[in-house]
A = this chain, B = another copy of it.
Amino acid sequence: MASLIEQLTERLREAGYRNTPARRAVLEALIDGPSHMTAPDVVAAVDESSPSVGRASVYRTLELLTRLGLVQASTLGGTETTYMLAPSGHHHHAICLECRATLEIDECVVGELEGLLCQRTGFEIRGHLLEIYGLCPRCATSQRNSNQTE
Contacts and interface: CB of A to CB of B under 8 A. Distances in A.
Interface of A: 62-63, 66-67, 69, 72-75, 77-79, 81, 94, 96-97, 103, 105, 107, 109-110, 112-114, 116-117, 121-137, 140
B66 A73 contact: no
Contact of A110 (B81, B122, B132): B132
Oligomer copy total:
2
28 contacts: A67-B78, A67-B97, A74-B74, A74-B75, A77-B127, A79-B81, A94-B117, A94-B123, A96-B123, A103-B123, A105-B117, A107-B116, A109-B110, A110-B132, A113-B132, A114-B132, A121-B136, A121-B137, A123-B134, A124-B134, A124-B137, A125-B133, A126-B134, A126-B135, A128-B130, A129-B131, A129-B133, A130-B131
A50 to B, nearest CB: 21
Contact of A66 (B78, B96, B140): B78
A87 to B, nearest CB: 14
Given A96-B123, A113-B132, A114-B132, 15 more contacts: A69-B133, A74-B74, A74-B75, A94-B121, A103-B121, A109-B112, A122-B140, A124-B135, A124-B136, A124-B137, A124-B140, A125-B133, A128-B131, A128-B133, A129-B133
